[in-house]
Amino acid sequence: MIYRIAADFVVVIHLAFILFAVAGGLLVLRWRRLLLVHIPAFGWAILISFAGWVCPLTPLENWLRQQGGEAGYNTSFIEHYLLPLIYPTALTRGLQIFLGLFVLIVNLSIYSWLIFRRQR
C-alpha cells in the first residue's frame, strides 16, 4: 500500500512539474525569484521533449508500482484523471517535439513580455 501511495505522489509531483514548466513564467511575473527555478525547469522539459528522453520520474513511478505488486494502473482518482495527461497513449515523436516547441513558445512569449514591460 505504501508503494502505491508513493507512486501516486510521484504522479502528482510529475504533473506539477509539467504545469510549472509550461506556465511557470506566469508565476515569475509575480515572484521574480522563481526565475532561478523556472528557467532550468522549462529547459529540462524542452530537452526531454526534443531529445526523446524519458523523465526520471516515470521509471521511479513504475518501480514503485511494481514494488507495490501492481502490473498496471488501477482506477484510483489520480490514475484515472492525471495519468492520461502525463502519459498520453498517442504520444508520438512528432507530438513530443510539438509539445517541446509549445513549452518553448509559451515561455519565450512570457519572458519577452516581461523584458519588454521592464524596459518601459
Percent of the chain with pLDDT over 90: 40
- Among 75, 99, 68, 90, residue whose Cα is nearest residue 6: 68
Render pLDDT for 26-80 as a digit per residue (tens, 0 to 9): 999 899 999 999 999 999 999 988 998 888 888 888 889 889 887 655 444 455 5
d(C-alpha 28, C-alpha 24), whole Å? 7
Q: Where are the domains of the chain?
A: 2-119
DSSP letter, residue 71: S
Pinpoint the alpha helices (H) of the chain.
2-30, 35-51, 57-67, 77-81, 83-86, 93-119
Q: Give the pLDDT band (50/70/90) at residue 87.
A: confident
